[in-house]
Chains A and B, each alone.
Chain A
Amino acid sequence: MKKIAVFLLCAVLIFTFAGCSNSSNTQSQKEDKKVKVGFIYVGPIGDGGYTYAHDQGRLYLEKELGVETIYKESVKEDKAEVEKVVEDMIDQGATIIFGTSFGFQEGLLSSAKKHPDIKFLHCSGYETAENMGQYFGKIEQMRYLTGIVAGLKTKTNKIGYVAAFPIPEVIRGINAFTLGVKSVNKDATVKVVWTNTWYDPAKEKDAAIALIDDKCDVITQHQDTAGPQQAAESRGVFSIGYNSDMSKTAPKANMTSAVWNWGPYYVKTVKEIMDGTWKSGKYWGGIEDGVVDIAPLTQVAPENAKEAVEKAKEDIKSGKLVIFKGPIKDQTGALKVEDGKTMTDDEVWNMDYFIEGVEGSIPKK
């Protein structure tokens, strides 16, 4: 008798579904011809960091261009999952799709081949196609600036860096930050721990606490949430945020943050696509485009930092200061970039070694 009950239950559910789906047909016809832009996020929009920054960009895009946007949070960095989300978004009328995490690359690329009429834009990867472009910003410029703040603040001369994955994007940021630290404090070292996750507040926090226990008195991060900031706050040390201004999460610890400002880029790109002038390629904007910035220094930041940061910022803007310019030595002391030489974009993109002053290792490939 139980089986009959289950059967009836199923029947009831099926009929309810069937009944409702008839009445819902009229609804879908209401969808008009507005351009629809889909955003695929790796974390929730409330992460207070990376995804939040992208979502602010999405809202800005909606406001500026009046296009319709849809988004999906917490999508796994898994090819099948990304392809599925893309299909769902196209099914819902999206013609432009932004994927905001490195691990979405494969799924986006294979979807791009399948849907030549849809435009794909992938953040922080390297693969392109006729209808798939790459975009990212020179956040390392801001890492350098925040490095100055950290270098001036540290007393123990040990700075902790909570890092996600050992991929070039993250390595580049660590190196730039270290160069910033070194520019004001030759004795300080930057200690790196890997979490192997973009989004895991608890794990990020634990990693920061381990660094603090190891006598680091300034914590920074390449993670999506403010977990490491909270760790610094609770242990009474100082911190530098990433992605969004994290000063509110850790008012007693946070000194500044390297932040993303995606809005203008999203508006520019979607506009180009709508006008038909868009071409696939790799966008890599810096401070001059406003896509990256440094959050205002808080009261806990060292006094002399503001001046130093402002000056360096101006120099970066004017091109006087180039972050990856020789001499640059790696951890073993071997000279990687000769004095006076500047690394090419490609070299910067594929950086796979730590520079002198970084403590930690990159897992072998």
Chain B
Amino acid sequence: MVNQVRFVRRDKVDKYTNIKVKLISIVAAFFIMSLFLIMLKINPKDAFIGMIKGAFGSPLRIRQTTIKAVPLIITSLGILTAFKMKFWNIGGEGQILMGAFGASILALFYNGFNSTTLLLLMALSAAVFGGLYALISAVLKIYFKTNETIVTLMLNYIALKFITYLQYGPWKDKKALGFPKIANFPDKALLPNLLGVNVGWIIALILIILVYIFMNHTKKGYEIAIIGESINTARYAGINIKAVTILCVFLSGALCGITGFIQSSGVNGTLSVEIAGGVGYTAIIIAYLSNLKEPFILIVSVLFAALLQGSSYIETSLKIPNSAALILQSLILFCILSSEIFTTYRLKFKD
């Protein structure tokens, strides 16, 4: 009789097991989701088909999915850059907000340029603000040995409260009759569209290539990887760890900052507390599921965006509550993420 089950670490994780576990986890996710949907008296088949239709069923829906995928891609690239060095940047959310803030200063108050120049300056400002905001955690880590996970996480809240302060206080739009919102950007500070979606998607594709080249084919990218593998090796090889850390974390924050620029200039048309909307956290999951590989970030982000767009679609088409749609999203995630434990450990049955 089996009376005890233990987790035993696998000596090595082979391809076959990995695929098997992932597939089982997806099947399990769909099974649990089906049970949940049946509880809601909805035919699971309708729901799943509805999600796919909602994400890819028409040119408009594909555009909506793309709009959702762009911030996920760019932010995940930012997270990946830091994670490669085993610098746990949980602060994407705050860096997006500060990036959007950097872009907004120009768009709202110093916009005396032509559109192209203004947009380029806004992107630059967003990258610098996002990068510098991330640097706070790097500097604290280098000089005071603080834990960057905690620091970046807490900085998210500071950024959020800062933008809230602006929205409810000094930057509140006087024309909104007391409703707390920041004034809209002038038209020339808005990203133009290409194929019906703001050009953010082109920026995202270019950034994937740039980050890929930087991380895999440049000296600095190599040094980042070495520090991530073993800090002692890096030291022995004579790498200037402080300098590389600062560069790497700045780039990580700058990429997140660019997300803030695209969201404020291309999607919202202004700065608001809603601008990051959890992207900074979702990006961590995406970077992780992509196994820190740039090309996979594209695929996983698109699938993620499809999941968000698809579940939003079935909310209206099948009239399921908003909260139920969120549960469906979380179920898929939960199953895929928790399956990770079975790829690194196996179950040992003792009798």
Report the minimal beta-carbon distance from B22 to chain A, rounded to whole angstroms: 5
Chain B residue numbers with a CB within 8 Å of A8 are 19, 22
Residues on B lying within 8 angstroms of A by beta carbon are: 13-15, 18-19, 22-23, 26, 48-49, 52-53, 55-58, 60-61, 64, 67, 168, 172, 174, 177-181, 184, 267-270, 272, 274, 289-291, 293, 296, 299-300, 303, 306, 312-313, 315-317, 319, 321-323, 343
4 interchain residue pairs of minimum CB distance: A5-B18, A1-B15, A73-B322, A80-B268
A168 and B13 in contact, given A9-B26, A10-B296, A71-B316 (Cβ under 8 angstroms): no
Q: Is there an interface contact between B300 and A92, defined as CB atoms closer than 8 Å?
A: no
Contact between chains at A2 and B23 (CB < 8 Å): no
Report A-chain residues with C-beta under 8 Å of the C-beta of B319. Answer: 70-71
Pairwise interchain contact A20-B48, C-beta atoms closer than 8 A: yes
Q: Is B172 within 8 A of A365, CB to CB?
A: yes
Q: Which residues of A contact B174 (CB under 8 A)?
A: 365
Nearest Cβ on chain A to B123's Cβ, whole angstroms: 19
* B323 partner residues in chain A, CB cutoff 8 A: 44
Q: What is the chain B residue whose CB lies nearest that of A24?
A: B49
Interface of chain A, main secondary structure: helix
> With an 8 A cutoff between CB atoms, is A46 at the interface?
yes
Could you tell me if A165 and B269 are in contact, using CB atoms closer than 8 angstroms?
no
**A12-B179 in contact (CB<8A):** no
- Which of A13, A20, A89, A362 makes the CB contact (< 8 A) with B178? A362
Complex Cα gap A80–B272 (Å): 11
- Contacting B60 at CB < 8 Å: which of A20, A23, A87? A87
What residues on A are CB-neighbors of B13 within 8 Å?
1-2
17 interchain pairs (CB within 8 A)? A2-B18, A9-B23, A10-B299, A12-B26, A13-B26, A21-B52, A24-B49, A73-B315, A80-B269, A88-B313, A91-B60, A167-B177, A167-B178, A167-B179, A168-B178, A171-B178, A362-B178
User: A9-B22, A17-B55 are known contacts; what are 19 more A-B pairs with Cβ within 8 Å?
Assistant: A2-B13, A2-B343, A3-B291, A6-B291, A9-B19, A17-B52, A21-B56, A44-B321, A44-B323, A46-B321, A74-B322, A80-B268, A80-B269, A84-B67, A88-B60, A92-B313, A92-B317, A103-B179, A167-B177
Would you give the shortest CB distance from B120 to chain A, in whole angstroms? Answer: 22
Q: Is A130 an interface residue (CB 8 A)?
A: no
Interchain CA distance A72-B269 in the complex, whole Å: 22
Taking Cβ atoms with an 8 Å cutoff, the residues of A that contact B are 1-10, 12-14, 17, 20-21, 23-24, 27-28, 38, 44-46, 70-74, 76, 78-81, 84, 87-89, 91-92, 102-103, 106, 126, 165-168, 171, 196, 350, 352, 362-363, 365
Say whether, besides A2-B13, A80-B267, A365 and B178 are in contact (CB < 8 Å): yes
Tell me the total A-B contact number using a CB cutoff of 8 A.
139
> CB < 8 Å: which of B168, B177, B289 contacts A350?
B177
Q: Is the CB of A165 within 8 A of B179?
A: yes
A314–B300 CA distance with the chains assembled, in angstroms: 63
A17 near B316 with CB under 8 A, answer no
| Contact partner, A2, options B48, B180, B291, Cβ 8 Å | B291
**Known interface pairs A3-B293, A6-B291, A10-B299; A88-B26 also in contact (CB < 8 Å):** no
Task: Knowing A1-B13, A28-B53, say if A73 contacts B321 (CB, 8 Å).
Answer: yes
B181 CB, nearest partner CB in chain A, Å: 8
CA distance A23 to B53 in the complex (A): 10
CB-nearest residue of chain B to A23? B49
Question: Roughly how many angstroms separate A107 CA and B67 CA in the complex, as a whole number?
Answer: 17
With A and B bound together, what is the CA distance between A191 and B178 in angstroms? 19
Give complex CA distance A362, B177 in Å.
12
Say yes or no: B274 contacts A87, CB within 8 Å: no
Chain B residues near A87 (CB, 8 Å)?
60, 64
The chain A residue with its CB closest to the CB of B318 is A70
Alpha-carbon distance A73/B179, docked complex (angstroms): 21
* Chain A residues, CB < 8 A from B178: 165-168, 171, 352, 362-363, 365
Which of chain B's residues has its CB closest to A70's CB? B316
User: B296–A1 contact, CB under 8 A?
Assistant: no
